[in-house]
């Protein structure tokens, strides 16, 4: 019995020199725009937190990254504070970039976990991005209350889309009436004057009713013999052609200017005039004989 007591005391002493690294944060989904905090701390407050940092799992690179390296990418609403007992990350406005897994990691050797890290905390942010409306076959994005001009008999296919934490529910309506199309795509085949009006696409989050976005465009149906440049496609082609022509004129002007400058510099420089070259001396000429005219001193 006397031999057992020292062993038990030794086990307690060794066990007491270790602590568990904990992570605290929201356990329920957060709505975008809300404030939340994530805290790292030891189970024993006597341990110093100076060697602890927060990490977030990157879904794209499939590995953990220290959060301080991603600080500037997170925006100006991220604040990380350290005290002697805890590390706290404060987010003033939640957004989609904060959705993911977090953990606390220590470089010290007094953590019970094999990899010196805490358990993983999964933070779910409910969000919805801006709604965009595109015409099928074109890459141009139509803004709110954008007017789309088409000829009678043309086909119009519009598609609205957005990014969200969960697949949203899309609906279309015309002129704010009760008519509703439960789809993200609006298809109008061989449009006529009866198809003219305001069309609104609405996207709703399936779990959070307050998350919803909408975009409205106006469809104007022109006559069959309307000039091509009066349609939206014609105006787009015209603007593209003008921009391409301006760019071409600019490139040609710069090229001509550089060519003229190089030619002018070559003419101004002229042939090389080597002043160090001396006049040739011919054999048996006066210049070839030694001259003593400059010798004024008598020979002794």
Specify the pLDDT at position 37. Answer: 94
Beta-carbon contacts of 121 under 8 Å, excluding residues fewer than 6 positions away, are 23, 24, 25, 38, 101, 102, 103
Percent of the chain with pLDDT over 70: 72
- DSSP conformational letter for 226: -
Specify the pLDDT at position 4. Answer: 40
The 3-class SS string of 64-113 reads EEEHHHHCHHHCCCEEEEECCCEEEEEECCCCHHHCEEEEEEECCCCECC
pLDDT > 90? residue 122 = yes
pLDDT higher at 272 or 215: 215
pTM of the model: 0.66
pLDDT band per the 50, 70, 90 thresholds, residue 289: low
Specify the pLDDT at position 70. Answer: 46
User: What value does the mean pLDDT of the chain take?
Assistant: 79
Specify the pLDDT at position 280. Answer: 62
Specify the pLDDT at position 265. Answer: 77
Which position has the token pair 């400058």?
A: 261
- For the chain, domains (ranges, CATH) are 21-126 (2.60.40.10), 152-234 (2.60.40.10)
pLDDT > 80? residue 296 = no
Mean pLDDT of 202-214: 94
Q: State residue 236 phi and psi, 5-degree precision.
A: -65, -45
- DSSP conformational letter for 15: H
Specify the pLDDT at position 228. Answer: 65
For strand 63-66 and strand 78-82, is the pairing parallel, antiparallel, or unpaired? unpaired
Mean pLDDT of 111-116: 68
Q: What tens digit of pLDDT does each residue of 83-100 get?
A: 878 999 999 889 998 999
Q: What tens digit of pLDDT does each residue of 231-270 get?
A: 766 666 677 778 888 888 889 888 888 888 887 777 766 5
pLDDT band per the 50, 70, 90 thresholds, residue 166: very high
The Cα–Cα gap between 196 and 220 comes to 5
Specify the pLDDT at position 5. Answer: 40
Mean pLDDT of 109-138: 83
Specify the pLDDT at position 34. Answer: 93
Q: Which range has the worst mean pLDDT, 6-10, 13-17, 100-104?
A: 6-10
- DSSP conformational letter for 282: -
pLDDT band per the 50, 70, 90 thresholds, residue 71: very low
Beta bridge partners of 66: 55
């Amino acid at each position: 019995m006397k031999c057992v007591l020292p062993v038990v005391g030794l086990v307690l002493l060794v066990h007491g020199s270790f602590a568990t690294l904990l992570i605290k944060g929201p356990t329920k989904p957060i709505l975008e725009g809300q404030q939340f905090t994530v805290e790292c701390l030891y189970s024993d407050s006597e341990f110093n937190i100076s060697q602890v940092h927060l990490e977030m799992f990157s879904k794209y690179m499939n590995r953990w990254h220290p959060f301080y390296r991603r600080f500037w990418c997170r925006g100006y609403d991220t604040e990380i504070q350290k005290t002697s007992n805890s590390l706290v990350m404060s987010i003033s406005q939640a957004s989609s970039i904060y959705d993911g897994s977090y953990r606390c990691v220590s470089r010290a050797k007094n953590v019970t976990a094999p990899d010196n890290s805490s358990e993983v905390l999964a933070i779910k942010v409910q969000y919805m991005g801006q709604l965009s409306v595109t015409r099928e076959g074109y890459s141009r994005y139509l803004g709110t209350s954008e007017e789309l001009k088409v000829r009678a008999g043309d086909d119009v296919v519009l598609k609205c889309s957005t990014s969200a934490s969960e697949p949203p529910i899309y609906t279309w309506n015309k002129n704010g009436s009760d008519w509703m199309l439960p789809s993200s795509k609006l298809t109008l085949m061989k449009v006529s004057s009866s198809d003219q009006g305001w069309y609104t696409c609405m996207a709703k989050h399936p779990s959070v009713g307050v998350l919803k976005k909408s975009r409205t465009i106006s469809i104007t149906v022109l006559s069959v013999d309307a000039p091509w440049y009066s349609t939206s496609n014609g105006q787009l082609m015209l603007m593209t052609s003008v921009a391409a022509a301006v760019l071409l004129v600019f490139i040609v002007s710069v090229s001509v200017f550089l060519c003229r400058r190089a030619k002018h510099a070559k003419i101004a420089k002229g042939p090389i005039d080597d002043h160090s070259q001396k006049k040739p001396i011919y054999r048996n000429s006066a210049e070839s004989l030694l001259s003593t005219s400059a010798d004024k001193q008598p020979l002794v």
